Structure 1
Amino acid sequence: MRLRFLGSTSEAGACPSLYETDRGTIVVQGLHVTDAEALADLRDVLDGETIIEVPRELLVDIARKVLL
């Protein structure tokens, strides 16, 4: 799989960041969520899956760039 950087809200280009894959999917780089209450709210988490947190503005910004 190959990744193409889409954007970040970090000034240093670190996380959180979004990438597009050559398979037509999106990869999200961000902080691993460890909050017990948040994890208790999840449903149907498969082995090997995890959740990460990204700012809403990152998703909105990338959606505008990709969709327009």
Structure 2
Amino acid sequence: MERKRDYMTVQELTENEKYKFWYFKIKECKESGLSVKDFCDKNNIKPSTYYNYQQKIRNILC
């Protein structure tokens, strides 16, 4: 049985920061009034990457 840690690894921290970044990007997109395509074009983001993280964030929150 694995012992529960009281700390996060660098990899876990990095992953959490990435999800935090995308959570706020997705929120920013929704509040912008732009379509996802226009928002992504304006922010130099691939729409496929946006949708990929949108799904990941939904899975984490649900």
Same topology, TM > 0.5: no
Structure index of larger Rg: 2
State the TM-score, normalized to the length of structure 2: 0.29
Going by fraction, where is strand more abundant, 1 or 2? 1
Going by fraction, where is helix more abundant, 1 or 2? 2
State the TM-score, normalized to the length of structure 1: 0.27
